[in-house]
Structure formats: C-alpha cells, structure tokens
Amino acid sequence: MLTVMKFGGSSLATAEKVENAAGIIVKKAREGSDIVCVVSAQGKTTDELVKRAEEVAKAPSPRENDVLLSSGEQISMSLLAMKLCDMGYDSISLLGWQAGIHTDGRHGNASIKSVQTERIKKELGKGRIVIVAGFQGISSDDDITTLGRGGSDTTAIALAAALGADECCIYTDVKGVYSANPKVAPDAVKHDEMTYDEMLEMSTLGAKVMHNRSVSMAKKSRVGFEVCSSFDGERGTFIHDFAPEKTVSGIVCDGNIAMLTVEGIERGENTCRLFRLLAENGISVDVIIRSQLYDGGKGTVSFSVSETILPQVRALLEAHRGEIGYTKLSAETGLAKLSAVGSGLADSCLVASYMLSEMNKLGIDPKYITTGEIRISVIIPREMSISAERALNSAFFGEGRRL
C-alpha cells in the first residue's frame, strides 16, 4: 500500500508540531504502508521571505524570487526527515527537482507538466520514507519554479496520481471541509464527503481549505483525497466522484472583492478584446454583468476581481484604453462575494429565494447576483459579510434549516 501525505505550514510551524507530524507518519508506516510525504514551509515562512525580497529590491527578479521562496520547504523537509530518522525510521528528503517535478517556465505560478517518479520509487524500494518539498519544481531551462498559492496541495495530488497511490491525505489545522467558515459560523457542519465539483467550486469562490488548482488536478486524475486535521486523529472529509448529492453543501465568503465597470465599450470585438487582455495577463474575473446597449451601439460591462490586484488591473486597462475603446473606467471597493454551493442546487429554485430572504432580514440589498450550475453568488458590502454568512449557514444547516 502506498500513501501520499501532505502537511501544511501550520502543521509544521514548531518543533513540537514537526514531532506530531512525524508521529502520524510513523503510525501509518507501522500499518505497513509506504509513505511519500509532501511539506509546506513552516508557519508564515513564505510571507517572511516575500518581505525580505521586498526589502532589497523594488521589483524582485521572478527567477530569483522563486529561488528564495523555495527555500522554505527545504527547511521543513529536512527537519521532518531528521525527526523521523531520530525516531528510528530511515527517511530521505528531496527537493522538487530531485523528486522529478517538471513544470513550465512561469515563475511564481508554474504548472506541473510531468512527474518522473524513478527517484522516489528507488528510495521507497530501499524501505525509506520519502519527504518531498511541495510548492516547487524545475523548468525545461533547469530553473527552480514555484507553483503559486496552494502549490504544496498540487504537488501532493500530482505525486498521488503519478505513483498510483492507494490514498492521499491532506493534513491541515482544520478537521475537514465545513458548511461555512467555522471561525465565522460556530454552528458550521463538517461534511464526511464531497464531490470534486463541490470542492472545486468552493475553493474557487474563496474557501481556504484547498486551492482550486489542486482540486482540478485531482478531478482530472481521479485522485480521491481526504482533508483532515493533523492534531486530533479524527476522520476528515473525503473528496471524490461519488458523494451523495446535496442541494447546498456550503456557504463561502470572499471578503476581498472589487467591481470594475468599463463604460462606453462597443459590442462584439471590443468586448472580446477586453476579456482576452485580462486572460492573457492571468487575471481571473468572476461575476460579469453586461448592460443593455445605448446610443451608438455602446454599453457597460462590470466584472469582479480580487481587490488585491485592483491597481494592477486598472493600470492594464488604462494602458490599453485605445485598443479596447472605452470612455470611462471606475471601481467599487469594500465588497464581498457570498455564495451558496451544492451539487443539487440547479434543481432547487428555492435557494436564491431563501438567500435573499435571509439578507433582507439583515437589511442587505445585494448589488449583483449571478448563478452557475452548482452555485449562486451575490455581491454585498464587506462589513455585512460575516453576519450574512452566519445567517445563511443557520438557514441551510442549523436546527431550523430551510432545506
């Protein structure tokens, strides 16, 4: 049996937590499983490295930034391997390139192109526990690359797929996937299982437990995985294809939203140019509202982006104003996106009604509403998002739930 484990930064933040993670690995090894373990950088190490780069360079070289950021995982993997060896279990740590993680050349947000498993299999054949640095790989130019946010999750899923692992466990500081953020909604319910599509939608809409790229890879590769706590030993949430359908699986809030409005843009090709430009620059948009046309065949397009990249997006659109051909650009900030997600949501017209009813009780008038196959999202003022998330979780999962 082969098990791939992944430990996040919060699970490795201190020497005591490294010891705890080692204990979980040893328990699984004693059950007869071969172990490949992927690790993140300890605690807030990556954030600290980003700050150090900004202290010495106004615009750090993307290549050198990846060299710097990848060092955090190197510390974690070596400490965990040391601890396991100290406990009497032969272990070896491998950097991304040593583990055969090959990526494209996009520094800071690389994608895994292939995994060559020969070295890992060789070490497993020697009876060793293999510890792999997550979040990193190597490009065709032999340069270190990093995989962006959630990169260690992606590494774990990619290795589980390439090795044909029997199980994949994602250890974190929460007990699993909840109906809402348990730090916001104390009565949030932990799910025993969810579908890939539900987890992917929740991750894309702002749930922090998994990154959407790793869930997308798991779905494509058909890698079932469990999200569980590294601190309590209880069963977590199993993500796979065949979880029972739920009308609503979760309430997700992204409290970092801005709406950009482009006025006076022509229909057809100019609107296509707008979104092509955003796509070519790796800018993700979600809620899109296209107004009716007014005189001259021109209209208004509004779309949501993360507020953290708003200055970047505005600068990009202003630089290409002539190409896109709009008359005015404006932005609204201080917003949140609140979403209800569920595999059976498309069959229930009541969900939107209940959402709006609960927000009406709180005096919230949603600015924008959008729907998808398994989600309904509303844009609301950020200062109202916590009370709205609590209310919706209670409405759908509390004692007096409405569905």
Token readout for 307 is 């507020």
Instruction: For residue range 337-347, list pLDDT tens digits in order.
Output: 999 998 877 66
Lowest mean pLDDT among 54-58, 208-212, 252-256, 315-319: 208-212
Q: Is the pLDDT of residue 254 over 80?
A: yes
- Smallest Cα–Cα separation from 220: which of 299, 112, 108? 112
pTM: predicted TM-score of the whole model, two decimal places: 0.88
Tell me which long-range contacts 197-201 makes (C-beta under 8 A, separation of at least 24).
Answer: 197/343, 197/374, 198/243, 198/246, 198/249, 198/250, 198/341, 198/342, 198/343, 198/374, 199/239, 201/339, 201/341, 201/372, 201/374, 201/375
pLDDT at 234 over 70: yes
pLDDT of residue 167: 95
Q: How far apart are CA 184 and CA 4, in angstroms?
A: 31
Model confidence at 94, pLDDT cuts 50, 70, 90, reads very high
DSSP assignment letter at 146: E
pLDDT category at 400 given cuts 50, 70, 90 is low
Residue 24 backbone zone (phi > 0: left; psi -120 to 50: alpha; other: beta): alpha
pLDDT bin (cut points 50, 70, 90) of residue 5 is very high
pLDDT for the residue 344:
78
For tokens 């605690």, the residue is 43
pLDDT at 3: 97
Interval 196-221 mean pLDDT: 90
Name the least confident of 61-70, 186-195, 316-325, 364-373. 364-373
The reported pLDDT for the residue numbered 292 is 64
Percent of the chain scoring above 90 in pLDDT: 70
**DSSP string for residues in 235-290:** --EEEES-PPP-S--EEEEEEEEEEEEEEEEETTHHHHHHHHHHHHTT-----EEE
286 band by pLDDT with thresholds 50, 70 and 90: confident
Residue 141 predicted with pLDDT over 90? yes
Asked if the model's pLDDT at residue 392 lies above 80, the reply is yes
Q: What is the mean pLDDT of residues 163-177?
A: 94
> Given a cut of 70, is residue 240 above it in pLDDT?
yes
pLDDT category of residue 293 using cuts at 50, 70 and 90: low
- Tens of pLDDT, residues 22-75: 999 999 999 999 999 999 999 999 989 999 999 999 888 999 999 999 999 999
pLDDT of residue 67: 96
Beta carbons within 8 Å of 58's beta carbon, 6+ residues apart: none
pLDDT above 90 (res 212): no
State the Cα–Cα distance between residues 178 and 199, nearest whole angstrom. 11
Residues 333, 310 contacting (CB under 8 angstroms): yes
Angstrom distance (rounded) from CA 24 to CA 19 = 9
137 token code pair? 């790989």
| C-alpha to C-alpha distances, 292 to 66, 129, 269, 302, 371, nearest whole angstrom | 45, 61, 16, 12, 19
User: If pLDDT is split at 50, 70 and 90, which confidence band does 243 have?
Assistant: confident
Torsion sign over Cα 141, 146, 152, 153: negative
Nearest to 331 by CA among 263, 255, 230, 384: 263
Exposure on the CB side of residue 101, measured as CA atoms within 13 A? 31
